[in-house]
Amino acid sequence: MPQISQLLEVYGGQFFWLLIVIGIIYFGIARNMVPKISKTVDDRQKRITDDLAAAQGAQDRAEQIEIDYRASINNARADAVGNVNEAKAKAALKNEAAIKRADAAIAKKADEADAELKAAKTAALKEIEAVAAEAAQAIVATVSGAKVSAADAKKAVKAAF
């Protein structure tokens, strides 16, 4: 084809120089720019890797701190429960001792009151016997006109009780 051969004759030198310039640009970029870009990409990748490693290390430290925190909280809780149980036991012992002392005091007062009641009952019975003996003497004297001795009246009252 004549058009193509004409193009090659007219533009052949320009195509040659175009290929030379493109080759220089290609090799210039390949020799100079590609290593710089590769270095930048590698540096960026290294920084990302280092940041991820630092983040993982921080996460591991945070998890360890959380584990230690939870362990210390659990230990403190166990100590608090132990202290509360110990305080409850001491309070129970003190209360038990106080209850025993109060029971002993109440029992002593109850025994004293019982003794006083028995003494009062005995005294009241003696007075009642004496009054009943006098009343029996008066009743016998009034009803039958007979006179009864105080000793006989007391014997009769004691027999009736």
Q: How many Cα atoms occupy the beta-carbon half-sphere of 44 within 13 Å? A: 6
Residue 141 lies in a domain: no
Residue 126 lies in a domain: no
Q: What is the pLDDT of residue 1?
A: 58
Residue 128 lies in a domain: no
| Segment 88-102 mean pLDDT | 94
pLDDT surpasses 70 at 160: yes
Q: How far apart are CA 98 and CA 127, in angstroms?
A: 42
Select from 32, 8, 9, 12 the least CA-distant residue to 20: 12
Select from 160, 121, 161, 157 the least CA-distant residue to 136: 157
Q: If DSSP codes are grouped into helix, strand and coil, which group holds residue 157?
A: helix
Over residues 43-83, the pLDDT tens digits come to: 999 999 999 999 999 999 999 999 999 999 999 999 999 99
Q: What is the pLDDT of residue 85?
A: 96
Report the 10 Å Cβ neighbour count for 148.
Answer: 16
Report the chain's mean pLDDT, rounded to a whole number: 89
pTM above 0.75, yes or no: no
Q: How many domains does the chain divide into?
A: 1
Q: Which two tokens stand for residue 151?
A: 């000793």
Residue 157 lies in a domain: no
Domain carrying residue 6 = 2-116
Residue 20 lies in a domain: yes
| Segment 111-137 mean pLDDT | 87
